Structure formats: structure tokens, C-alpha cells
Amino acid sequence: MSINSAILDNPLLKGSGLPPFADITPEQIVPAFHQLLAELDQELATIEANVKPTWSSLVEPVERLVERLNWSWGIVNHLMGVKNSPALREAYEAVQPQVVQFLNKLGQSQPIYNAFKALQASDQWATLNNAQQRIVEAAIRDAELSGVGLQGKAREHFNAIQMELAELSTKFSNNVLDATNAFGLTLTTREEIDGLPPSLLSLAAQTARAAGEENATPENGPWRITLDFPSYSPFMQHSTRRDLRERLYKAYITRASSGELDNNPIIERILKLRQELAHLLNFQTYAELSLASKMAKDVPAVESLLEELRSASYSAAVKEIEDLKSFAAAKNAPEANNLQHWDISFWSERQREAKFAFTAEELRPYFPLPQVLDGLFGLVKRLFGVTVTPADGQAPVWHEDVRYFQIADETGTPVAYFYLDPYSRPAEKRGGAWMDICINRGKVTENGVSTVRLPVAYLVCNQTPPVDGKPSLMTFYEVETLFHEFGHGLHHMLTKVDYSQVAGIQNVEWDAVELPSQFMENWCYDRLTLMGMAKHYETGELLPESYYQKLLAAKNYMSGSVMLRQLHFSILDLELHYRYLPDSGETPKDVRDRIAKTTTILQPLPEDSFPCVFGHIFGGGYAAGYYSYKWAEVLSADAFAAFEEAGLQDEEALKVIGTRYRDTVLALGGSNHPMEIFKAFRGREPSTEALLKHNGLATA
């Protein structure tokens, strides 16, 4: 095959529509981007040469250029998360610098920036609608934050930093994935598996078989326990072997902190470079640079919210640990006076069982994935009037377990689609759960005919896979996670904005983007929603009422500790990007240990290297923005309170308020400021009251 036809046939150059996953191989990535970036470079030069400060000769061509790059690069990024392999990594690392280089060039284009400024200052400005003005303002701000004002040496330095940061972030994530996979604990005796639930024994036998123990069975083993969350978490909750819990815990907290996969030097380097980047753009700190495009007005505003929540949760958390010690003592546990980190999960699970008389494992049979999906889809139909139906076979997928769905409005017209990749695949898929954009909604004009391109989302979870002929039986936490990611998906998919730059989650201030996701989690405790999906996978029996009452009672179990843990991460992130000085003699780990004094009850162990796996801020987009979870949780709790006030049993009232939520929070995307959107929905600014109340932390 000649080079030219190979390039013509390259599926990564299709440029629009659903990604042809079945046809994509890592070998195609380098030639595709070589070709694509050369074309985009030409296109950019043409735009710069002919640009005028009007919507059609500036905003539209720039948008088309960005869309082409996003389409191809989005696919490669997606595959890095769900289909990671040595060949894919190599190709990704080969083209990433060129992509970053091109994005820098575009972001720093003086002709384009000047045209945006001129458009803002022109008579045409008044004729642009709100969404269009937000697009122009964001373009100006982003260009300034991309170093458009820098010249000569300063610009070269800025670009070199951007390039290195992108490489470091990829390396950080790969190290975490590899370090998580590098550890495995094979158990062979009855004593070693004491206390472990059947669901974990099945998974552990399946993992052992995958690792070459072909005769492994749930009954007789051997059983392989890994640091992948569906394996690690239940082991820590249920294993009666304190020595093994300690071994596993220490392996978990030291991941990616030594040897070839050591992320410590990467973290120091990232923080140093971010600091330099901020200085180049005339910010004192990286935190201030990060907040320049967020909803919170400055670092003190964020710190005051975090402190308000910290002081509300700290004493509750102290009391929770004291109660746990007394509980362990009452059970004559030798470790009761000296509870260690590897005892907390185990004893909290025992205490929860005793207090609320159920185990997390007992609930699993009531939450098979197909039914949970039915319950979730039933809820969005009740609230927002949309119908979700399977569309498997209508889209190419990257793994046989991936499903494809359609969302239609009240008239039956399709409005969006999404992929669901639900199960953990530790060898190739990174941990955690996320929603990502496959295709943005937007108006497309071809040959003078305008159509609306419908949005498509990726929803990725890492829940327990189907084992030994049973469906995927979910923990309640996995149910909440699915609802959370689907909330992000709705934000992307139910947008009514036709400008792709501000449709769905695009251009939504980062600290408001978690509102729709956290909002959806609240419905997991709503009686109608929960009882509609919780049915025993074998008998079809409804979840007994007593369990529902116990779930409600247990909802705020350890909520002080849970809240404090999130605040610990948020405050650490802010401190590293606001007060920490690289090369000052203090390491990021020292900062973490210092922060821990007021944000943890059990201080971290000396070898605990949490920053080395803090992927949100070193491998993802949450740097100096992890607080967003709490910031948005205030918004989402207050938004859910509007439904509670209307009456969760009142279907008509729910429809009315659901429609208002859909028409504001979900429909408007990034076309308005999130505070304006929130006020349009709620009629006022948000307050922390609902959040503290929902967490059982409101002081009387």
C-alpha cells in the first residue's frame, strides 16, 4: 500500500462522526498526526492571513480548526484511559509534544487574539447574544492565560514549560497504573481468606486465573488480591487477617513512590514548572492562575468555604474514631487501644453492620447493573421527560463489554447518545470513573444546509465485573458512582446550546462542573428511585423495607470523616499551589504531613506517599481546583433541596421543577455564568445550609 493511500484510509483522519474504534491501531497514530498537524498548520496560517473581527471570519473558522484536532486527539486520549498498552503509550508520547506545540501556537496567535479584542470593542458586539459574548470573552481570557502577551525568550520558556508539563502528567498517570498493577497477593489457605465475602472470592479466583492459575476456583483458590479498587477495598473491609491488611495497606499507600515508577521527582518538577508558568503570566502563584477561569473569586474565598466545612466536620470525625475504638474494645479486639490505618475500614464495616444490621455485601444481590440502569433511566424520564434506550450495534466499540445508548426527548426525537464502559479492567484501564466528551453538540453547515450535530458522551466506571455467570452485582457505592457520572453525562447531553464552544460542559467554570453529577447522587436515597431498581437478581424480590430504612440511617455514618477526607485533599492541593515554595527545603510530602495535622484524625504513616497517586491534580485537570468538589457540592445540595421542598413524592411538582432544572442547569451549559444559571433555577444564591444538613453536620 502506498503511503498516500495509507494516510487516506487512516481512520483517525475521518474528522467527524463516531470514532471507528474497530479500525484504529496504535501504528496509525503517528502518521495520522503528522498529516493532521501539517494541514492544521496551513489552515491556521490561512486564518491568520485573512482574519477580520467578525463572527463568521474569526470565531467560526477557529472553531472548525479546533474541532478537527479535538476529534482525533480526543480518541487517542480516550484510548489511553480505557485501552492502555505499550504500543499505544509509545505512539501517544511520540505525538503529544507536537499537539502541545500546535495548541501553544494557536493559543498565542497574535492576529487571532487581536481580532477577538477588536470584535469585543466593535459595534457588532452589541448584536451578539449572551452565548456568543461568553465565547469571545473566554477566547480572550484563554489566549492571555496561554501566553499570547509573551514575546521572545519569555514565550519560548512558556512553551517549553507547557510541553514538559504535558509529558510529566502522562508519565505520572502511567506510573500510577503500572505501580497499581505491579503488586499482587496470592492467598492459598483458608486462614488467609477468613472473613472475605463470596463476591470477592469469585473476583480473586478470576484474577488468579487471569494471572495463570488456570484451576483457581472461588471455593478452593488460589485467590489473587490486587490494589485495583474492586479487590483492595472489600479486602480491607472484611479480611480478619490484620497482618495481611497491613501488608496490603502499606503496598497501597507507597504506590509510585520509589524505584523506576517513583513519582516524587515528577511532582517536585510539576510544581516548580507551574510556579514558573504563573510568574510568566504575572500571577503570584499557580492557584491564582487557576482561579482566573473559575467561579470562586479568589483563594481566600475558597479557603473560607473549606474552613467553614472543616470546622463543622473535624469534631464529628474525632468522635467517630473514638466511637470506633470503643466498639473494637467492646468486641475484645487486641488492637482497640491502638487502631491503625489498616484497621479503620475493617472496624467501620463491623460497626456499621452492628449499628444498622446490614453489610454492604448483603445489598449487592439487589443491585445487578441492568436493573440499576433501568432505575436510573426511569428517574431521568420522571424528572426530565427523556427516554433512554439501548442502541448497541449502532456504534463501533473499543471492548466487547461497552454498551451504546440513545436519549430521546418527549416527542421521541433523538437528542444525544452515550457509551457506557462499566467494568474494571486493571491491565489496560485506569482506575476511577469519569465522563468524557466524544462529540459536542453544535450547529453544522454543509453546502448551505444547517443541521444540529447531536452530543455523544463516554461514561466510564470501574465496577465489579460479572463473575462466574452472575451479572455485575454492584455495591451501593458503585451505584452512587454510576449516578454521579451519568449526571455529568446529562450536563453534556441535554444541552440546548448550538455553539459547541459553550454547549454542555464546555466553558463551564470548573468549580461548577460537578453540580449536575453530585446532584444525581442524592437520588440514590430517594425511596421511589431506589425501590424501583433494587430487586434481587435471582428471585426478583424487592429490597425489603427494613434495608431501605437501614440505608437511610447509615447514610451519614462516618460523614464527618468522609467530609474531612475530601477537605484534606482540597486543602493539600491548594497549599501545594498557593503557599508551597519549590526548593525551600520542604517537600510536597512534608506539606501533606503538615496539612494532615488539622485535616486527619489518624496522622499518615511516615511512608505514606499519597501525593504520588494524587492523579486529579498531577495527572488530570484539577490542579488548584480539587476544592471544586466541595464548592459544587454546596450548589448541588441546595439544588436537590429545591426538589425536597417541592415534595419527592409529588410527581407533578417534580415534573415542574425537573423541567426548570433541565432548562437552566442542564440546558444552558457554558453559555451563561454558573451563578446566573443557579439563580435562574433557584431564585437566589446558594447557601451551605443544605449540604451540612444532608451530611448530618448542621449544628442546631
Residues designated catalytic: 485
DSSP annotation of 58 reads I
**Beta strand 387-390 pairing with 434-439:** unpaired
Q: What element of type H or E holds 422?
A: strand 414-423
Per residue in 445-475, is it b (16+ CB within 10 Å) or e — as a string? eeeeeeeebbbbbbbbbbbbbbbeebbbbbb
User: Could you give the CA distance from residue 447 to residue 444 in angstroms, rounded to a whole number?
Assistant: 10
Give the phi and the psi of residue 212 in degrees, each rounded to 5: 110, -5
**Beta strand 223-226 pairing with 184-187:** antiparallel
Helix, strand, or coil (residue 492) = helix
Cell readout for 23 is 479500525
Contact 481, 463 (CB under 8 A): yes
Per residue in 507-529, is it b (16+ CB within 10 Å) or e — as a string? bbbbbbbbbbbbbbbbbbbbeeb
User: Could you give the CA distance from residue 155 to residue 146 in angstroms, rounded to a whole number?
Assistant: 10
User: Could you give the CA distance from residue 409 to residue 386 in angstroms, rounded to a whole number?
Assistant: 5
SS (H, E, C) 536-604: CCCCCCECCHHHHHHHHHHCCCCHHHHHHHHHHHHHHHHHHHHCCCCCCCCCHHHHHHHHHHHHCCCCC
Q: Nearest Cα to 147, choosing from 294, 286, 290, 278?
A: 278
Number of residues that make up the chain: 700
Residue 288: CB atoms within 10 A of its CB come to 17
User: Could you give the CA distance from residue 258 to residue 322 in angstroms, rounded to a whole number?
Assistant: 34
Contact 353, 331 (CB under 8 A): no
Burial of 313 from C-beta contacts in 10 A (0-12 / 13-18 / 19+) = buried
Helix, strand, or coil (residue 626) = coil
Contact 295, 678 (CB under 8 A): no
Contact 203, 211 (CB under 8 A): no
